[in-house]
């Protein structure tokens, strides 16, 4: 059957297109929510804690973006060697673990190390990874699927960030970040385990 004859949203494959799309949407939600929009939240609350000056935190944020861009090469190499799903799982764990560690790092070295880990997590679950996953599953309706998946990036701004701020205000910086990142990570890992498999012929 040709690609143009397949409606990927109605295919009888074991893992339907909608479930793959939901997973990639949540990947975008986590990536942009924890690794992009929330960066300003980390800076605000870490600076308010008095442990690090705002200038150092701003430098660490810039470092995060630089490492994230460079990490794409390593992430794609790893995905080609071991498969996409293990790399995405590692990315989720890195993002959640390193973001949670920000409240507890003892000095600037570990601060930058935590941001570097977040950057690798970002590279593993953000735009490139989402595009590759959508490309494996969708052909005739790839553009629609990719656009729908990446709306998770926009939704992150009004879903993840307010939840993160509310958690920090209620439970404190460390517990608030851990609660938010842990919840996001657990939900995303369940979706990945259920839905991110290799596409099979209909």
pLDDT tens-digit series, residues 6-61: 556 655 555 567 888 999 999 999 999 999 999 999 999 999 988 899 999 999 99
Closest CA to 184 of 20, 18, 38: 38
Q: What pLDDT sits at residue 91?
A: 96
Closest-CA residue to 12 (of 143, 145, 200): 200
pTM for this structure? 0.88
């Amino acid at each position: 059957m040709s690609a143009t004859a397949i409606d990927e949203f109605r295919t009888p494959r074991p893992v339907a297109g909608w479930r793959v799309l939901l997973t990639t949407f949540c990947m975008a939600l986590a990536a942009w929510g924890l690794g992009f929009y929330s960066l300003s939240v980390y800076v605000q609350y870490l600076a308010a804690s008095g442990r690090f000056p705002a200038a150092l935190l701003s430098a660490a944020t810039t470092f995060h973006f630089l490492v994230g861009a460079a990490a794409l090469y390593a992430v794609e190499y790893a995905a080609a060697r071991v498969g996409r799903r293990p790399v995405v799982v590692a990315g989720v764990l890195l993002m959640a673990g390193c973001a949670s560690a920000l409240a507890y790092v003892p000095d600037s070295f570990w601060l930058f190390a935590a941001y570097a880990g977040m950057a690798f997590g970002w590279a593993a679950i953000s735009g490139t990874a989402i595009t590759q996953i959508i490309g494996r599953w969708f052909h005739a309706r790839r553009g629609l699927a990719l656009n729908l998946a990446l709306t998770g990036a926009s939704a992150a701004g009004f879903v993840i960030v307010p939840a993160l701020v509310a958690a920090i205000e209620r439970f404190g910086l460390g517990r608030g970040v851990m609660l938010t990142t842990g919840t996001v990570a657990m939900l995303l890992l369940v979706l990945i385990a259920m839905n991110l498999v290799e596409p099979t012929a209909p």
